[in-house]
Chains A and B, each alone.
Chain A
Amino acid sequence: MAKVEMTVNGRMTSANVEDRTLLVDYLREEKNLTGTHVGCDTSQCGACVVHVDGKAVKSCTVLAVQAAGSDVRTIEGLAGDDQLHPMQEAFRNNHGLQCGFCTPGMIMSAVDMVNRLGPKLSEATIRAELEGNICRCTGYHNIVKSIAAGAKAMGKGMKKAAE
């Protein structure tokens, strides 16, 4: 057992967990943040993607103790008080989901994509960057559309913030 402390969505958290506890289980079971999903549990599907110190990672393949002391952001920490994050809004407006299971991971990966590559993303770039996120219903078409739109909207937000 280890006392694991980390910042989650801006708040300091701690829990006594076994060393073998996965980060995704720390978030879901200990912190009740069930927006982060477990899809394949074999590091392939990306339903569990969260940001650790600003970088997208598969939380089913990180131990909670490895993330101790880190700054973690989950899908629950993306929106403002009464407003969806522009990427969430874009998924809503573009019908970027059907069953919704992969969506939290898709959105966290999409935000990471914009953070790394900027708001102007070609379709080819988006598709290549989605290598680690699997969706079994949409055929990706509207997900790609959503990410392009969300990226653009994030770009406008960045511009405004800069002004």
Chain B
Amino acid sequence: MYDTTYTRAKDASDAAKKMRAAEDGQFIAGGHTLLPTMKQRLAAPSDLIDISHIKGMADISVSRKDVTIGAAATHASVANHSKLMKVCPSLCELASHIGDPAVRNRGTIGGSIANNDPAADYPAAMVALGATIVTNKRKIRADRFFTGMFETSLKEDEVIKAVTFKAPKSGAYAKFPNPASRYAMAGVYVADHGKKDIRVGVTGASSGGVYRAKNMEKALAKDFSADAIDGCKVDEGDMLSDIHGSAAYRANLVKVMAKRAIAAAG
């Protein structure tokens, strides 16, 4: 790892100010993506601005169906939050299968969505839940937040403060983990928001990163059952192809995971 200078931000605007002052700064939360990348010398930020100690940044609040999760909430705290478990168990379930117990004690939801790894789990949930990403500057709809593999609409000095969403009527996430890394080879989050508003978020599979399977959403709005998506095409041309699986394999996995998620969401 190259040399770097570490500071802790007092609040979100302090973090943004420190970022503007830095030559080539990066925010750091859990560090479980950034530090491995720095160790490989694939990243060499001049400054690390730690946002995880900002007051309230790791809080989770649930009021009826309205959920707010602070950006620095760890995967473990999302997985084990008893009120969240009552209104949106599928998100707790998703968080409980990220990496391993030690990773879940450090990694955060804000870090995961800011990084937008095409194989990360949370992005699928964010688009399926219709979440809003709250930053120090604005509120961004999840559909507009994720703009491509490892790309988001965040500006350089923009800090995610929290994500908010309304808990769906029902939802489920089905993930086919890579047997070695446990990242998603394909992961599908299905959420039924009622009144025929069904959303399907797909991660792990597409070369463009997370996306919504709109054809499945349409089919499910008519008939919410696993069979309903039989006729839905998953375009191989958009799929990732690597040593872990071909595009055709991934396209098929997307459908299988979608069916599992639909069945689990019931």
* Chain A residues within CB distance 8 Å of chain B: 2, 18-20, 22, 41-43, 46, 49, 55-58, 61-63, 65-66, 109, 112-113, 116, 129, 131-133
Contact = CB atoms under 8 A, between A and B. Distances in A.
Contact of B102 (A20, A42, A49, A65): A49
A37 to B, nearest CB: 14
Interface in B1-18: 1-6
15 contacts: A19-B4, A19-B48, A20-B4, A43-B36, A55-B105, A58-B102, A58-B103, A58-B106, A62-B35, A65-B6, A66-B6, A116-B101, A129-B101, A131-B100, A133-B100
Given A18-B3, A46-B102, A57-B105, A66 B50 contact: yes
A123 B159 CA distance: 42
B31 A66 contact: yes
B102 A109 contact: yes
B32 interface: yes
For the complex of A and B, the 9 pairs showing the least CB-CB separation, nearest first, are A132-B100, A131-B100, A19-B6, A55-B105, A65-B6, A20-B1, A58-B102, A56-B102, A132-B102
Contacts of B106: 57-58, 61-62
A109 B6 CA distance: 28
A56 B2 contact: no
Contacts of B4: 19-20
B86 interface: no
A57 B76 CA distance: 12
Nearest to B32: A61
SS of A interface (majority): mixed
Interface string B51-94: 00000000000000000000000001000000000000000000
Contact of B2 (A20, A42, A49, A109): A20
Interface residues of B, number: 24
B31 A2 contact: no
B105 A56 contact: yes
A20 B105 contact: no
A137 B4 CA distance: 38
Nearest to B3: A20
Residue among A19, A22, A116, A129 with max Cβ neighbours from chain B (10 Å): A19
Given A55-B105, A57-B105, A61-B35, A46 B2 contact: no
Contacts of A49: 102
A22 B1 CA distance: 10
A61 B101 contact: no
Contact of B36 (A57, A61, A63, A133): A61
B244 interface: no
Interface centre among A43, A49, A57, A133 (most CB of B within 10 A): A43
A51 to B, nearest CB: 10
Given A42-B36, A43-B32, A63-B31, A2 B6 contact: yes
